Amino acid sequence: MESNKRLICVSICEQTIEAIQQACVRATDLGDLVEVRLDCLDLFQSGETFHDLESLLQNIAHPVIVTYRPAEQGGQHQLDAKSRLVFWLFKRPNAEFFDIEFDIATPPSLLQFGKDMDWSRVICSYHNFKGVPPNLFHIYERMLSSPARILKFAVQASDATDCIPVLQLLERGIKEGREMIAIAMGTAGVATRILGPSRGAFLTYAALEDETATAPGQISARELREVYRLERIDQQTQIYGLTGLPVSHSVSPQMHNIAFDAVGINAVYVPFEVRDLEAFIRRMVHPRTREIDWNMRGLSVTAPHKTAVMDHLDWIEPAAQEIGAVNTILVAGNMLQGYNTDATGFIKPLTQKLGQLRDVRCAVIGSGGAAGAAVWGLTQEGAKATVVARDAKKAELLAAKFGATSDSLEGAVFAGIDVVINATPLGTLGQFESETPATAHQLRGARLAYDLVYNPSLTKFLREAREAGCETLEGLSMLVAQAAEQFRLWTGEVAPESVMFEAAERALGKK
């Protein structure tokens, strides 16, 4: 087996032999290896179960990694060192690889005396579910004493910058001639799962389905292949991404990755969950200061960073300066340039629906970055905009900035308004899903309700609007329009909008 082959290992964690067998059949269609987590089995040490397991492993079409993980390293059961040693020395089933924890796979260890232990099949692994230990490289140096063929590290990431030591460790190990697996777990570490193989990792782990992930942040094998096109990523691949908190709900990876493929650009779009924005830009993005050697070319910026990111850019387009928010970063030489595509993305579906907007009466509910982009775009088109918010003072300040009027949301009614826009997060999938900034009673008499929330596609706000007899416009149209403009800024190419729209619909379960 070539160590530089792009490998996806599908992890299987089931309680019965029958369930493992069924999962393995599906896994071989999606991955290159299968990891069978024996610590998930109930009563697997019984003679009958062990016999069934041996037979099962012999009939799996792909190479198998057998894992017997203790609870403190992410397993399902309390397994002390003695019981694990007994298992690996006397009870282990035949498989292509054995994943053995570093506490018993590094000297001094009784495993050294296992005469039939083939260390060329051993993965010596270290897991830390609390974070990235400050002595990570010291742990690596200790693990170098293991005769295991492959060294594996999996540590919990709380911020995208936690990917840095993991990728640096991967690079060091490979330079020193070791076969390596290095993963930052959690949603903040997804980049290491996607980019690891292209940077020399022996494999990356994937779930059979999203709901069967065996580690935090593990994504499905199908997503790795079909969305991120893992096997096509190489050292020359241009890297783009989404920075925000959270980012896991976004369908931007589905849209941009399929667009790159449709146009024939060697690029990948990756989510970056960022808490410390300054550190992320300085350490991972800016070409003058970043600590990773990679082909980072641009970013989408989402909440809560659209305004704060402006302090970390070298140049910002005048429109974004006026709006007071940046949602797009372009790496141009040694500079970071900021743009706002939200405003044009917001206006395009509206003009397609209504035609020209001069003197059209619009109410924008909200006072944040999305509301600012909407009001700026409307005033540029000559519409009559009113900012409506729970905080009347914030509404007044935003309205004054763009020459609009303002009102309080409390008790507001929208009869006679041409367009009512929800520019708040209310209605977004998750904790705000059951909320709406306006009821059917308030919306009765308005012509069109436009929700900038796109997930779910039919929000509580739009349901209330339909009950009130309004026409509706879903947020997905804006999402695709602003993404298409980002694509043009990054690549200089016309974006395949219909392809992007269909990909977004599939991701949202609409197709």
The predicted structure's pLDDT at residue 115: 67
> Which residue ranges form the domains of the chain, and what is each CATH number?
8-235 (3.20.20.70), 241-340+480-507 (3.40.50.10860), 353-474 (3.40.50.720)
The CA–CA distances, whole Å, from 42 to 20, 37, 73, 139, 320 equal 12, 11, 18, 32, 58
Residue 50's pLDDT band (boundaries 50, 70, 90)?
A: low
Query: What's the rounded Cα separation, in Å, for the pair 40 and 45?
Result: 12
One-letter amino acid at 117 equals M
More confident: 12 or 58? 12
Is 182 in contact with 170 (CB distance < 8 Å)? yes
pLDDT digits (tens, 9 = 90+) for 275-326: 999 999 999 999 999 999 999 999 999 989 999 999 999 999 999 999 999 9
281 Cβ neighbours under 8 A, 6+ residues apart: 309, 312, 336
- pLDDT surpasses 60 at 43: no
Q: If you search the block for the tokens 């003695």, which residue do you land on?
A: 82
% of the chain at pLDDT higher than 90:
79
| Average pLDDT of the chain, as a whole number | 93
Is 67 in contact with 152 (CB distance < 8 Å)? no
Query: What's the rounded Cα separation, in Å, for the pair 171 and 509?
Result: 38
The predicted structure's pLDDT at residue 363: 98
Query: What's the rounded Cα separation, in Å, for the pair 479 and 472?
Result: 16
To the nearest 10°, report the CA torsion of 208, 212, 214, 218: 70
Q: From the candidates 91, 115, 306, 460, give the one annotated as an active-site residue.
A: 306
Is 417 in contact with 447 (CB distance < 8 Å)? yes
385: closest CA among 404, 402, 400?
404
The DSSP bridge partners found for residue 126 are: 153
Is 447 in contact with 472 (CB distance < 8 Å)? no
More confident: 331 or 113? 331
The predicted structure's pLDDT at residue 3: 43
Catalytic residue at 306?
A: yes
- pLDDT surpasses 70 at 48: no
Q: Mean pLDDT throughout 55-61?
A: 80
More confident: 7 or 138? 138
17: closest CA among 454, 42, 34?
42
- Model-level pTM greater than 0.75? yes
The predicted structure's pLDDT at residue 91: 83
